[in-house]
A and B are shown apart, each in its own frame.
Chain A
Amino acid sequence: MLTLIYGGSSSGKSAFAEEYVCASKHRNKYYLATMEAKDEESKNRIERHRNLRSGKGFVTLEQSVDIAEVLEAIVHIDSGDFSTSSTGTDSILLLECMSNLVANEMFRDGQVNSAKEIEDKIIRDLMELQNHDMSVVVVSNNVFEDGIEYDQGTKEYLRALGHVNKRISVMADEVYEVVVGIPIKIKEG
């Protein structure tokens, strides 16, 4: 099961995504955090998200690039006695959020990777997580509607994120757009 949750900045998409994951009856709930704590503002954002999900039984995995690498930790936890809940048999992973992951993959190791390269890589990594028989919920951003003509680098980033969103939508069982905290289902399972 693959779900995409899409919305603008501060639209309430994370709160909805967490509700959505918590309403599903999975044995283990994983939160894949892609944001790097670079400065005060991102630290505050991370802190806000931590508070938002505290007490909801998530295991947090921090992975700013190469997301398939979290599988090792997940396999370890799933097979051990560390289960966060005793009901259900499978796991669910909430990836928050795609806009950070695309930026991190694009501008990594002091290089600028092309949109095409990173789109393929991210989709490949995502498929690997999916192949592990795990439900995946991806939170992604609508950053496409301000009508501003950006520089080439930003355009390349927007292109990559737009394409990744589209490819996830095609594969997804359900897609939601969140507007002022209200989820609108735009693809039915």
Chain B
Amino acid sequence: MVLIIGGSYQGKTAYARDNFPEAKYFNQLHLFVKKRLSELKKSYEILDEIKEATKEGTWVIIADEIGNGVVPVDSDDRLWREATGRILVELAKDADEVHRVVSGLGQRIK
């Protein structure tokens, strides 16, 4: 599995298509986490679901970096930010490659 992380509108998807044209995509993982949290799923359940969904074949998981801001006022937003961060750290441990995209430029960090 390949994990691609970066801020919004940084060209992550285009970078993924250029570098991993044959892979299957799990895009906007941060929004998937948000949706599952709204269904009252726990972080570890969401992580398990993602791992289960991406275990067959070559997968590229793409997520926005949402942790680089001021602590949100809303407690659901805080929960979302933390869950997304922790899930990404776990996925990064499992990943064969991790790439970070900044203004369209990818840097392999694992």
Contacts and interface: CB of A to CB of B under 8 A. Distances in A.
Interface residues of B, number: 26
B92 A181 contact: yes
B40 interface: no
Interface string A1-28: 0000001111110010000000000000
Given A7-B67, A143-B69, A143-B70, 16 more contacts: A8-B67, A8-B69, A9-B67, A9-B68, A9-B85, A10-B83, A10-B84, A12-B85, A15-B89, A143-B71, A144-B69, A145-B7, A148-B69, A154-B70, A179-B109, A181-B88
A184 interface: yes
Nearest to B86: A10
Contacts of A181: 88-89, 92-93
A10 B71 CA distance: 11
Nearest to B8: A147
B46 interface: no
B100 to A, nearest CB: 6
Given A8-B85, A9-B85, A11-B89, A184 B68 contact: no
Interface of A: 7-12, 15, 41, 142-146, 148, 150, 154, 158, 179-182, 184
Contacts of A9: 67-69, 71, 81-82, 85
Identify the interface centre among B70, B71, B75: most chain A CB within 10 Å of its CB.
B70
B88 A180 contact: yes
Nearest to A99: B71
B82 to A, nearest CB: 5
Contacts of B109: 179, 182, 184
Contact of A144 (B68, B83, B86): B68
B68 A146 contact: yes
Contacts of A11: 67, 85, 89
19 contacts: A8-B65, A8-B67, A8-B69, A9-B67, A10-B81, A10-B82, A12-B85, A145-B7, A145-B69, A146-B68, A146-B70, A150-B70, A158-B70, A179-B5, A179-B109, A180-B5, A180-B85, A180-B92, A181-B93
